[in-house]
């Protein structure tokens, strides 16, 4: 049941008396991995985002100082993936459903006495949902600190491993995600089907971008025929191993900071 997460760090393996007797619950870090089940091109399984979330947090929790109390909840595999629903196999929740699920999970954690919750999101289509949920929960429960974090936003070494074009435009099922899946679930990757496909170019003088400061709304079939946005053909397991080590190291630092964090007060 715990997958890549160390069993001693897997919250559902605790008993209710374990939780009742836990010391310093206010500073214990509870982590909700949130992924997606959506198309990732012809070469990757539809579980990519969820696998990356669980793989990264599992590796980070294995490295974390045992003296820091931190636990991962059962992963939320489904997310808001309607930008991909034109591709068979994608399963999506509405934004409203995802918000309701995250809110009710968080309130359950709050009732148990915990006051620090990380929403660890690995799907690029839903950071805004995490942010709305986090803010609304903190408004409702001022002593509840919610951290809406994206898996890839911690420090890592992708710039050392990926091409400039891939860093800028490889946003889905490209080199990085394919390499990490080669590390986590190599038997589920079909490299003989890997493709390279980048989105159509915008005018060179345009201020707009897919995912920049001035984005526009799009669905996946607007920008790719294969479902890939990036170059999956250059992926390797060696790159995936290094990326996974690097991103999980970043998460160790993030969890340490969250454990030590105190809500600012004026």
Q: Helices in 64-157 by DSSP H: which ranges? A: 95-111, 127-140
Helix axes 175-184, 48-63, angle to 10 degrees: 60
The 10 Å Cβ neighbour count of residue 153 is 12
Question: Average pLDDT for residues 45-68, to the nearest whole number?
Answer: 98
Helix %, strand %, coil % of the chain (to 5): 45, 15, 40
Q: Which CATH architecture has domain 24-260?
A: 3-Layer(aba) Sandwich (3.40)
Query: Can you say whether residue 238 is alpha, beta or left, with left for phi > 0 and alpha for psi between -120 and 50 degrees?
Result: alpha
pLDDT number for residue 266: 86
Tens of pLDDT, residue by residue over 221-233, are 999 999 999 999 9
pLDDT number for residue 265: 84
| Secondary structure E strands in the chain | 29-34, 70-72, 116-121, 145-150, 196-197, 230-231
For the chain, the domains span 24-260
Helices (H) and strands (E) in the chain, counts: 9, 6
Q: What is the mean pLDDT of the chain?
A: 97
Asked whether residue 95 carries a pLDDT value surpassing 90, the answer given is yes
Please state, in angstroms and as integers, the Cα–Cα distance from residue 265 to each residue in 141, 142, 143, 148, 258, following that order: 15, 11, 11, 20, 16
| Secondary structure E strands in 46-156 | 70-72, 116-121, 145-150
pLDDT number for residue 98: 98
Tens of pLDDT, residue by residue over 199-243, are 998 898 999 989 888 999 999 999 999 999 999 999 999 999 999
- Cβ 32 vs Cβ 121: under 8 Å: no
Tens of pLDDT, residue by residue over 110-164, are 999 999 999 999 999 999 999 999 999 999 999 999 999 999 999 999 999 999 9
pTM of the model: 0.97
- Distance of alpha carbon 28 from alpha carbon 170, whole angstroms: 36
């Amino acid at each position: 049941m715990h997958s890549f997460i160390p069993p001693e760090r897997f919250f559902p393996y605790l008993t209710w008396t374990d939780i009742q007797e836990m010391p310093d619950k206010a500073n214990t870090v509870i982590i909700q991995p949130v992924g997606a089940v959506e198309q990732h091109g012809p070469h990757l399984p539809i579980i990519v985002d969820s696998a990356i979330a669980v793989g990264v947090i599992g590796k980070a929790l294995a490295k974390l100082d045992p003296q820091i109390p931190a636990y991962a909840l059962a992963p939320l595999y489904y997310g808001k993936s309607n930008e991909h629903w034109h591709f068979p196999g994608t399963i999506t929740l509405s934004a409203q459903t995802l918000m309701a699920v995250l809110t009710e999970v968080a309130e359950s954690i709050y009732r148990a006495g915990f006051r620090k919750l990380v929403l660890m999101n690995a799907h690029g289509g839903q950071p805004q949902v995490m942010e709305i949920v986090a803010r609304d929960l903190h408004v409702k429960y001022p002593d509840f600190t919610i951290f809406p974090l994206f898996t890839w936003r911690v420090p890592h070494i992708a710039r050392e491993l990926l091409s400039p074009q891939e860093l800028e435009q490889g946003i889905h099922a490209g080199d990085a995600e394919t390499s990490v899946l080669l590390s986590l679930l190599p038997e589920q990757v079909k490299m003989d089907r890997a493709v390279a496909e980048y989105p159509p170019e915008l005018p060179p003088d345009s201020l707009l971008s897919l995912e920049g400061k001035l984005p526009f709304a799009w669905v996946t079939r607007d920008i790719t025929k294969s479902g890939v946005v990036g170059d999956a053909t250059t992926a390797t397991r060696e790159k995936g191993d290094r990326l996974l080590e690097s991103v999980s190291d970043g998460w160790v630092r993030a969890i340490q900071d969250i454990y030590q964090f105190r809500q600012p007060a004026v």
